[in-house]
Amino acid sequence: MELELLVAEIGSTTTMVNAFNDIKSGQPVHLGQGMAPTSVEEGDVMIGLEAAIADLKTGLGVDDLSWNEFMATSSAAGGLKMTVHGLVKEMTVRAAEEAALGAGAVIKQVTAGKLRDRQLEKIKEIQPNIILLAGGVDYGEEETILYNAEKLAGLGIKVPVIYAGNSVLQDEVRDIFAEKGIETIIVDNVYPDIDRLNIEPTRREIHEVFARHIVKAPGMSRITEMLTAEMLPTPGAVMQSARLLKEKIGNLVVFDIGGATTDVHSVTEESGKVRDILVSPEPEAKRTVEGDLGVYLNAPHVYSLLKDQFEIPAREDLAPIPRNEDEEKYVEHLAARAAKTALERHAGSYRDYYGSGGRQTVAEGKDLTAVRWLIGTGGALTRLDGGKDILKSLRTNRSRQLLPPEEAKPLIDKKYIMASLGVMSKKYPEAAVKLMLDSLEIEAEDLENKDEDQDLEN
């Protein structure tokens, strides 16, 4: 059987392949899906990919399978590891962090101000795939950025450095790293002026650097040889889908609960009443990743968060893919707690402070009160019966946090293809959007009324 496109998603616990045809016709078709445990620990991720393709063949009822194009996303072997270094924690550092997370990175270290010896030693231990250096508004502080550039260049770590700081220093920073033979990519400042974020150029460059310096999981080089398009980090591909979808259906939050982490992607504007009292800017598209909230590798920790609420015994023998109904129900409990905890960490909140004029209320962090859709993807939410109920339980209008309202509607990525469609959309955006709407089972009237709920946004 010949496919137009095969997309692989190589995760930390499972590897999945999705088959597509008719992607140029205006009526794209998702033919089927294959899945198998990821095989990093076996020393070759190709083993898991080949097993997933074999599972796809079984599902399609064919012995032979070929494809014209092959695309992939990856978060295997720890994902895209980055360290982020800026000047002021709540300004340039936070802007740089938002850019890296939105691109799908796993941030292993964040520093503010001049790098200390212990922090430099930590960078050498981490061995990041990319280093992101920021700091200073344009025409602002210079000394700390140049100091940090010298220190990073002296580490002897030959990984790409993205510089997204004070634009006045671009040539000097480039020269510092060039002397040590380190690749330097210069992008626009992530924080060019006070209270103004400019993170999109950095996000785009992180994707490009990832494609050129792909994460070296065992056997990954064989997979990259198969590619007909640039590989994306899996979280970056999900964010790409979320941003496309927001333009079609309105403000949304995507929950991606996996075996190792829980990611929350929000693409939304603030509501009018929150916008007026927000103390610092937030990006429209924001991602947070919770490395302690996976439902397989981190299942014991998630269980510890809920054991006082549910009378269920801990399980020590979970499989990456639940093997029976009991395991499914157990993972469902874990997923519910992971989603709730991740959302609370992602959302901003109201805060009161007292001054000469008395008490004033301000808003800090990401505002989700204008969100219209709660979307579930990832193995836990798409493959378990209670996925939609978990999303419903996250809505509230009685909290000091800026959480989604009761009116927000839950949707499930039934075919579990958001990441695959994110990488597909780089070449075939119309087909990707159409397949997304189909997987989410969105009705035509929902599209017609996407701007109807003005009370949520104003």
pLDDT in tens, 28-66: 999 999 999 887 666 788 999 999 999 999 999 999 999
> Among candidates 263, 265, 239, which has minimal Cα distance to 342?
263
* pLDDT reported for residue 216: 61
% pLDDT > 70, the chain: 92
pTM of the model: 0.87
- CATH code of 233-457, in short, is 3.30.420
Count of beta carbons in the 10 Å neighbourhood of residue 405: 17
Count of beta carbons in the 10 Å neighbourhood of residue 418: 30
pLDDT above 90 for 327:
no
Query: Can you tell me the distance from the alpha carbon of 213 to that of 159, in angstroms, rounded to the nearest whole number?
Result: 9
The pairing of strands 232-233 and 66-74 is: parallel
Q: What is the DSSP letter of 167?
A: G
- CATH code of 2-77+218-226, in short, is 3.30.420.40
Residues of the chain within CATH 3.40.50.360 domain(s) are: 80-212
Residues of the chain within CATH 3.30.420.40 domain(s) are: 2-77+218-226
The CATH number for 80-212, chosen from 2.60.320.10, 3.20.20.70, 3.40.50.360, 3.40.50.300, is 3.40.50.360
| Mean pLDDT computed over every residue of the chain | 90
